[in-house]
Structure 1
Amino acid sequence: MIDRPLIAPPDLLVRGRWLKRIDGVVLACVAVVAALTMVSPIQAIESIRFTFDNLVEIAPFLLLSVGFAALAAATGADALIGRAFTGSPRAMIAVAALAGALSPFCSCGVIPLIAALLAMGIPLSAVMAFWLASPVMDPSMFLLTSGVLGVDFAVAKTLAAIGLGLFGGLTVHLLARGRHLGDPLRDGVGNGGCGGARVRTPRPVVWRFWSEPERRKRFWRESGKNGLFLLRWLTLAFLLESVMLAWVPADLITDMLGGTGIMPVVTATLLGVPAYLNGYAALPLVGGLVGQGMSPGAGLAFLVAGGVTSVPAALAVWALVRPPVFGLYLALALTGSLASGLLFQLWSTL
């Protein structure tokens, strides 16, 4: 009788280490594509193409944001950025909400910038104001919304974006003393604690960071770490979005959002989470629904909630921040979306 070795063979050890190194997000992406291939090969190809196109479209923002964070880490410019956000918290929140409504970021595209800001210790209240307002409106969205739904609707959506940012930022400011909001980023995502320390104890900024080997290494290390992290999660988010675009039936949404009163607004707010198309593709759908009798308030609530709290966006947020901050983000987004829809519906009836 031959005793079994107490130590696994080398090939098994290597295989075990390889399996442990496989990232869960990458596995999820592969699983989604594999499931689509078995159910609908054509849709699998379309989803891959959709994901690739969106990643290419968002690549400039992704590269700029990742480079911005890496540059700040390599040069020590965190202190400068921190000083730029000093002053009255309410003023910072107001500026962030306005800037968010005018920025060209989508719900997933704003994630890299948010990661950079939080990692450098920028107050969560100001970041939340920008975070909530940014996906709702931008200049090109305003023009397209005006053409599809009218100028009044476009103005209302812009005001909803700013109002949502103000509401979220001020609420976080009031709750900022809670211990769960002190370090919003998850472990391994940026370095909020050290970033905050660098802002509190500024050191000289070295703009010519490439002249020092250690700073060069830090730049490339931070770029690779943040870039791979965001690329993995954005890939999964766009894959899920493509599935929603293909398989969420428009007739179902029409049936559930028809009619007038408060309930359609409530239903539209809740449906904005799973039934999100994207900011531009959703406009014709909402225009058709409004033409069939859906209240404008329900349409606005659907667009605002869909842009901010959709599953792809929420998935990226979940990967970025701790659970208490994620829960607060969803609560603020849903409450603000519902309030925006109800206020617009009330204004439409006057």
Structure 2
Amino acid sequence: MFDLFTWLADWSAYHLLGLEQGSRLAEAVHFFVEDTAKIFVLLVAIVFVMGLFRTLLSPEKVRGYIEGRSRGMAYLLAVTLGAVTPFCSCSSVPLFIGFLEAGIPLGVTMAFLITSPLVNEVAVVILASIMGWEMTAVYVAAGLGVGLIGGILIDRLHLERHVEDYVWKIRMGALAEIEADSSLGGRVRYAWGEVTDIVGRLWLYVVIGIAIGAALHGYVPEELFARYAGADNPFAVPVAVLLGLPLYSNATGIIPVAEALIAKGVPIGTVIAFMMSVVGLSVPEFIMLRKVLKPPMLVFFGVFLTVAFIVVGVLLNALFG
């Protein structure tokens, strides 16, 4: 299925540019062309499909599915819907307020908000196409687990007092819904609008991620990663998580970097911990959440995610060697 992208990379690197096969520059260019073509084709296709899906599943409907459920079922639905609903971080504040206004517990709400950026439906398909379904399943399971444990822990510690007071007084009513146009043409126009909007916001991060991955793939020797990021280095996972903190990307943009790291022999746990840190501890998300969470809650949120990502990385390295 993806042979076309490999052929395009071969033609670009070896025929169009005339690079010597096996050279560092040729390897870097080949990686860049193949991943750029593959990721953008998949990105457009998946966002279009998810845009059609979005016309059927508004934030209000997501809230309605969780509202009134038992606590255990609410947690399971929260992390599941967080993984499959195509809502960007800009929806986090209205969703947060709407969930609490509907009587959904804070822990369940936070489980949804933790899972949603980590397990991105677009990234899952692209990750599977590049690194296989086994690693993708591990990544998804880790993301769901972090969201579930985080929500339960917030619930058990009764951290409601660290939500801004005005949130509890707001009567949100219905969250913003899509303009009603149930015709096929209307749904297609909305889905294509999602493509232009989302791809327009993501393309630079994706290109930067692919460029970094290409540089790692072509120019950084495997011995360097084996020495400093190998499974026998006990500090590799914490350092990977800390390195991800100042970076900002979405799950789609960081996949090419993860692909290059895996190819260089970096253990899967270290790579997944790094991916989660870049995606889950983003500055824009924390800025938006500050509108509804007090500083102690944000600090707890950040510390929990940092520790959780380190634990996930260490455990996966132990399990997968």
TM-score range for the pair, normalised by the shorter chain length: 0.5 to 0.7
**What amino acid sits opposite 1:165 in the alignment?**
G
1:192 aligns to 2:168 (yes or no)? yes
For 2:268 and 2:262, locate their aligned partners in 1 and report how far apart those are by CA, in whole Å: 6
Q: Give the counterpart of 1:325 among 297, 301, 304.
A: 297
Structure 1 residues not aligned, in runs of 5+: 1-56, 70-77, 199-217, 224-237
Q: Pick the aligned partner of 1:90 from 72, 86, 90.
A: 72
**1:146-166: per-residue Cα shift (whole Å, max 9, x none)?**
122222210011101110111
Q: 1:136 to 1:164 in 2, by over 3 A?
A: same
For residue 29 of structure 1, what is the aligned residue in structure 2? none
Q: Percent of aligned pairs with the same residue?
A: 23
Aligned to 1:149: 131
- TM-score under structure 2 normalisation? 0.61
Which residue identity does 1:123 align to in structure 2? P
Q: Do the aligned partners of 2:118 and 2:279 also contact (CA within 8 Å) in 1?
A: yes
Structure 1 residues 281, 321: closer, same or farther in 2, change over 3 A? Answer: same
What is the match of residue 266 of structure 2? 294
Does structure 1 retain, via aligned residues, the 8 Å contact 2:244–2:274? yes
Structure 2 CA distance for partners of 1:83 and 1:276, relative to 1, 3 Å: closer
Distance in 2 between residues matched to 1:165 and 1:285, nearest whole Å: 24
Checking the alignment, whether the CA contact within 8 Å between 2:66 and 2:74 is kept in structure 1 is no
Question: 1:312 and 2:284 equivalent?
Answer: yes
- When normalised by structure 1's length, the TM-score is 0.56
CA distance in 2, matches of 1:126, 1:304: 20
1:134-190: CA deviations, max 9, x gaps? 1111433222111222222100111011101111011012101x5xx2361464xxx
Q: Report the equivalent of 2:195.
A: none
1:121 Cα offset (Å): 3.8
Deviation string, structure 1 residues 252-307 (Cα, Å, up to 9, x no partner): 9x778743333221112122221232211110111111211222111101111222
Please tell me whether residue 133 in structure 1 is matched to residue 109 in structure 2: no
Q: How does 1:106-255 map to 2 (within 5 A)?
A: 106-176=88-158, 178=159, 181-182=160-161, 184-185=163-164, 187=166, 191-195=167-171, 250=212
In 2, are the aligned partners of 1:244 and 1:276 still within 8 Å (CA)?
no
Question: Residue 11 of structure 1 corresponds to which residue in structure 2?
Answer: none
Per-residue displacement from partner, 1:279-337 (whole Å, max 9, x unpaired)?
11110111111211222111101111222111222222223322122122212221221
Distance 1:168 1:158 in 2: 15
Matches within 5 A, 1:25-44: none
Alignment gaps of 5+ in structure 2: 1-47, 177-199
How far apart in 2 are the matches of 1:266 and 1:346? 15
| Residue 109 of structure 1, CA deviation | 4.5
Q: CA deviation at 1:84?
A: 2.5
- For residue 142 of structure 1, what is the amino acid of its counterpart? V
User: Separation in 2 of the partners of 1:326 and 1:110?
Assistant: 14
The 3 A distance-change label for structure 1 pair 244 and 103 is: closer
Deviation at 1:101, TM superposition (A): 2.1
Q: How many angstroms apart in 2 are the aligned matches of 1:320 and 1:243? A: 27
1:281 aligned to 253, 262, 268, which one? 253
The question of whether the paired residues in 1 share the 8 Å contact of 2:251 and 2:275 is answered with yes
Q: Which residue of 2 aligns with 1:8?
A: none
Cα separation, 2, equivalents of 1:95 and 1:83: 6
Are the structure 2 counterparts of residues 268 and 99 from structure 1 closer, same or farther at C-alpha, using a change threshold of 3 Å? same
- Between the aligned partners of 2:101 and 2:234, the Cα distance in structure 1 is 40
The alignment yields a C-alpha RMSD, in angstroms, of: 4.1
Label 1:90 to 1:294 Cα distance change in 2 as closer, same or farther (>3 A). same
The question of whether the paired residues in 1 share the 8 Å contact of 2:230 and 2:236 is answered with: yes
Q: Is the 8 A contact 1:265 1:297 kept in 2?
A: yes
CA contact (8 A) 1:90 1:170 kept: no
Judged with a 3 Å threshold, the aligned counterparts in structure 2 of structure 1 residues 244 and 101 are, in CA distance, closer, same or farther, namely closer
Q: Give the 3 Å change call, closer, same or farther, for CA 242–192 of structure 1 in structure 2.
A: farther
Q: 1:115 to 1:155 in 2, by over 3 A?
A: same
Count residues with an aligned counterpart: 241
How far has the Cα of 1:112 moved from its partner? 3.5
